[in-house]
């Protein structure tokens, strides 16, 4: 089963055709490089793979178990910002869910209303599901791998 399937995608900007009927698959253990001259469509392809852009034609399908993180090449960096923090930015929704869990745990610890407690516990469970499905607890080791090359 492929991790990624790109089938017959086409993309153009005005009169300029970037891709036409482009297809590829990526399987576990595969390595892929992306090279090309300026304006060839490398960033456009990565935007489509990350879901931030949609091809004019064709489709892109990721295996549901795959997590996609994308850090734009034009990322706004703050002075003195560590590379590790830049890499973590790709997982911002997961960090937001973790912060929400902390907030919910505080509210649960002081809650006395049964109905409200049920609501808080449901929210807690939903946020925990987000972290587990996003493999949140392995992010640091994944970032270490990326940072090491």
- The pLDDT of residue 147: 77
Residue 60 sits at the vertex; the CA angle it makes with 130 and 1, to the nearest 5 degrees, is 75
Q: Show pLDDT as tens, one digit a residue, over the chain (149 residues).
A: 899 999 999 999 889 999 999 999 999 889 888 999 988 899 899 989 988 889 999 999 998 888 776 666 676 778 888 888 888 887 888 899 999 999 999 999 999 999 999 999 999 999 898 888 888 899 889 888 877 86
CA dist., res. 149 & res. 144, Å (int):
9
How distant, in Å, are the alpha carbons of 2, 8, 100, 107, 120 from that of 125?
31, 39, 11, 14, 9
């Amino acid at each position: 089963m492929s991790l990624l399937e790109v089938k017959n995608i086409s993309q153009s900007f005005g009169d300029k055709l970037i891709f036409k009927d482009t297809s590829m698959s990526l399987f576990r253990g595969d390595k892929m490089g992306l090279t090309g001259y300026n304006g060839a469509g490398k960033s456009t392809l990565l935007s489509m793979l990350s879901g931030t852009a949609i091809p004019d034609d064709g489709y892109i399908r990721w295996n549901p178990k795959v997590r996609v993180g994308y850090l734009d090449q034009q990322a706004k960096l703050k002075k003195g910002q560590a590379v590790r923090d830049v890499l973590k930015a790709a997982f911002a929704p997961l960090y937001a869910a973790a912060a929400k869990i902390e907030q919910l745990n505080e509210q649960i610890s002081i809650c006395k209303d049964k109905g409200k407690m049920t609501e808080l516990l449901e929210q807690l469970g939903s946020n925990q599901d987000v972290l587990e499905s996003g493999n949140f607890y392995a992010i640091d080791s994944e970032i270490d791998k990326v940072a090491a090359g």
